[in-house]
Amino acid sequence: MKYRCGVCGYIYDDAVEAVPFDELPDDWVCPVCGEGKEGFEPMDEEEAPGPTDGPATAPEIEWEEDEGLRELSAGQLSAICSNLARGCSKQHLDKESALFTEIAEYYERHSVKAQYEGIDGILTLINKDLGTMEVGKMQAAELSDRGSLRVLTWSEKVTLIAKSIVERYRADPSFIERTNVYVCDICGFIYIGDEPPEICPVCKVPGFLILKIGRKV
């Protein structure tokens, strides 16, 4: 039997775990998002193995690429530069940080209109990414590239949780109305709830780094 976490989509599979789901203690929580046992739903045996499309439908990936500098989109250049700005400020290189921010902002202004639109567009990209992440994790493991494995593991969890939140919102927008929205400022984990978790369930930073997203009144 398999059980799926209603918050983040994590799947507990009796077939691969040491302890069957029914015998888990009452205070057991989802290893990804911290949801309690009661938030898990049994899955139909028929159902596909998970919320991801899985490796079977993973996009074709070029494993060897020969061209020199790969084309980066304006959005990627913006992300590279905003991250370098942060790296500089960690090193107390404040002037350099401001300069990288300037370039990041330029590319943010120039990032092109997306190919997809709306919440559905985001879901389309999420599903593509989940497939690529699956392949990427195998690739990283094969190469013993722990850094890439780390970022793929985190971002896969963050993406799965975002997917489950967006789908829930589409089904019933009111579930956010009565509560708060938070984003982990390190990994991007989105949390819908009254108080943020004490530590981020994805990247494990302390809760003060999980920031509240305000609502306009």
Write out the binding residues for other proteins, residues 25-44 only, by CB under 8 A.
none
Residue span binding Fe ion (CB under 5 A) among the ranges 81-89, 104-112, 127-135, 185-193: 185-193
- Give me the least distance between CB of 153 and Fe ion, in Å please: 12
Name which position in 7, 8, 187, 210 contacts other proteins (CB under 8 A).
187
Residue 61's binding partner among other proteins, Fe ion, none (Cβ under 5 to 8 angstroms by kind) is other proteins
* Contact call for residue 61 and other proteins (CB under 8 A): yes
Task: Provide φ and ψ at 114, rounded to 5°.
Answer: -70, 155
Binding to Fe ion (CB under 5 A): which residues in 190-209?
A: 200, 202-203
Helices marked H in the chain — which ranges?
Answer: 74-90, 94-109, 118-142, 146-171, 174-177
- Give me the least distance between CB of 189 and Fe ion, in Å please: 4
Binding to other proteins (CB under 8 A): which residues in 147-176?
A: 147-148, 150-152, 154-155, 158-159, 162, 165-166, 169, 173, 176
Residue span binding Fe ion (CB under 5 A) among the ranges 8-16, 48-56, 163-171, 177-185: 177-185
- Give me the least distance between CB of 27 and other proteins, in Å please: 28
Task: Supply 132's token pair.
Answer: 């690529």
* Contact call for residue 186 and Fe ion (CB under 5 A): yes
- Give me the least distance between CB of 51 and other proteins, in Å please: 17
| Contact string (CB under 8 A) for other proteins, positions 65-104, x = contact | xx--xx-xxxxxxxxx-xxx-xxx--xxx-xx--xx-xx-
- What is the number of other CB atoms lying within 10 angstroms of the CB of residue 34? 19
Phi-psi region of 198 (alpha: psi -120 to 50; beta: other; left: phi over 0): alpha
Vertex 159: Cα angle to 36 and 52 (nearest 5): 85
CA-based R_g, the chain, Å: 19
- Environment class of residue 124 by beta-carbon count within 10 Å: exposed (0-12), middle (13-18) or buried (19+)? middle
List the one residue out of 197, 179, 202 whose CA is nearest residue 210. Answer: 197
